[in-house]
């Protein structure tokens, strides 16, 4: 089974949390984005899966952020999938693979995820 989810963005990148003097800043971002992504999970009517491979298609307004900075947002996405019960956890037993693509889409920044259920890998 393949399920898709789009989350409008841009999502926070690594530079948004790295070097911040307060660890509360990360917690606040994680909470805010977890709730927001949870809403999109509910709207997409995703169903639970045990083990997955996910392709993240990152869409940015421009090329100002580097790909390694952009893909930090996957942490917020994975945590929200677990919190909403779509995945039991985000460890080795549940995540078979993660892949990323990057494109400039000025009118629709965000991330589109293709969540592919892995059976008997």
Determine the Cα angle at 25 with ends 69 and 20, to 5°.
60
CATH no. for 2-117: 3.30.1330
Q: What is the pTM of this model?
A: 0.93
Extended beta strands in the chain, E state: 2-8, 52-60, 95-104, 110-117
Is there a contact between 117 and 1 (Cβ–Cβ < 8 Å)? Answer: yes
Would you state the pLDDT for residue 121? 65
pLDDT tens, N- to C-terminus, the chain (121 residues): 999 999 999 999 988 887 766 667 888 899 999 999 999 999 999 999 999 999 999 999 999 999 999 999 999 999 999 999 999 999 999 999 999 999 999 999 999 999 999 997 6
The domain ranges of the chain are: 2-117
3-state secondary structure of 76: helix
Would you state the pLDDT for residue 15? 86
């Amino acid at each position: 089974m393949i399920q898709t989810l789009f989350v409008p963005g841009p999502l926070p990148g690594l530079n948004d949390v790295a070097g911040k003097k307060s660890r509360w800043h990360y917690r606040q971002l994680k909470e805010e984005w977890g709730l927001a992504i949870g809403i999109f999970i509910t709207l997409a009517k995703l169903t639970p899966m045990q083990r997955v491979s996910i392709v993240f298609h990152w869409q940015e307004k421009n090329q100002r952020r580097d790909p390694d900075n952009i893909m930090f947002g996957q942490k917020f996405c994975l945590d929200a999938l677990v919190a909403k019960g779509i995945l039991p956890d985000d460890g080795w037993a549940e995540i078979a693979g993660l892949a990323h693509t990057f494109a400039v889409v000025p009118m629709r920044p965000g991330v589109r995820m293709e969540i592919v259920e892995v059976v008997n890998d």
